[in-house]
């Protein structure tokens, strides 16, 4: 009886392992197609950036305004700034995903690194106008990315090529970016 139970468990386990599915290389097909063909995708970006642009003047009109949820803070003396994400917020990397789908390939860091170095990412709708509007109002723009610190120069080149204002590489906050020493910001208690 024990041998039969053991054999049944082994057979059942091997059947379950055989049923295991691996996602195909093109498991992002629907998302990529929607992103590249949907008018809603473009309109969402345009609407979000138009709303953000309208908020710039509101923010500048109030000396205590900030976008962080944990107020109050003493912000006196700090210049106005905007921190904005790069990938899939400002720059469109979906063509890289589309190429992987066409070639039936899964994501590859090597292909990603080549893509970054080529600076082929296009600006997403409304992004350049928003960042330029911030800069025109004297707001310092900082760009946040999970790209490697070694890719900052290529990232700056890509941003500038698409019309984003970048005065220095220090505006790019990449993965493992060395930081500090920064002036401390005191928090007012209520």
- Asked whether residue 97 is domain-assigned, the answer is yes
Q: HSE (CB half, 13 Å, CA atoms) of 113?
A: 6
Q: How many domains does the chain have?
A: 1
Is residue 177 helix, strand or coil? coil
Is 12 a domain residue? no
Q: Is residue 17 part of a domain?
A: no
Is 19 a member of any domain? no
pLDDT digit of tens for each residue in the chain (190 aa)?
Answer: 666 666 666 555 665 555 556 655 567 888 888 888 899 999 999 999 999 999 999 999 987 777 777 766 777 777 899 999 999 999 999 999 999 988 988 889 999 999 999 999 999 999 999 999 999 999 999 999 999 999 999 999 999 999 999 999 999 999 877 666 655 544 444 4
Q: Taking CA 177 as the corner, what is the angle to CA 130 and CA 92, rounded to the nearest 5 degrees?
A: 40
Angle between helices 94-102 and 109-118 (to 10 degrees): 130
Residue ranges making up the domain that contains 51 = 25-175
CATH number at residue 59: 3.40.50.1000
For residue 181, tell me if it sits in a domain: no
Rounded CA separation 9/11 (Å): 5
Contacts of residue 1, defined as CB under 8 A and 6 or more positions apart, other chains included, come to none
Distance CA 29, CA 150 (A): 30
**What pLDDT was estimated at residue 116?**
97
Instruction: Tell me if the pTM is above 0.85.
Output: no
pLDDT for residue 139: 95
């Amino acid at each position: 009886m024990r041998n039969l139970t053991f054999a049944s468990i082994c057979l059942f386990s091997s059947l379950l392992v055989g049923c295991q599915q691996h996602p195909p290389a093109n498991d992002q097909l629907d998302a990529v197609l929607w992103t590249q063909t949907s008018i809603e995708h473009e309109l969402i970006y345009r609407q979000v950036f138009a709303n953000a642009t309208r908020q710039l003047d509101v923010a500048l009109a109030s000396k205590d305004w900030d976008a962080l949820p944990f107020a109050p803070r003493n912000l006196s003396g700090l210049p106005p700034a905007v921190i904005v994400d790069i990938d899939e917020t400002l720059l469109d990397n979906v063509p890289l995903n589309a190429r992987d789908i066409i070639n039936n390939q899964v994501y590859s860091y090597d292909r990603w690194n080549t893509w970054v170095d080529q600076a082929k990412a296009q600006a997403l709708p409304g992004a350049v106008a928003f960042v330029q509007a911030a800069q025109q109002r004297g707001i310092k723009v900082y760009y946040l990315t999970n790209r490697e610190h070694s890719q900052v120069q290529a990232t700056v080149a890509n941003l500038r090529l698409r019309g984003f204002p970048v005065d220095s590489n220090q505006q790019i906050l990449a993965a493992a970016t060395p930081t500090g020493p920064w002036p401390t910001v005191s928090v007012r208690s209520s």
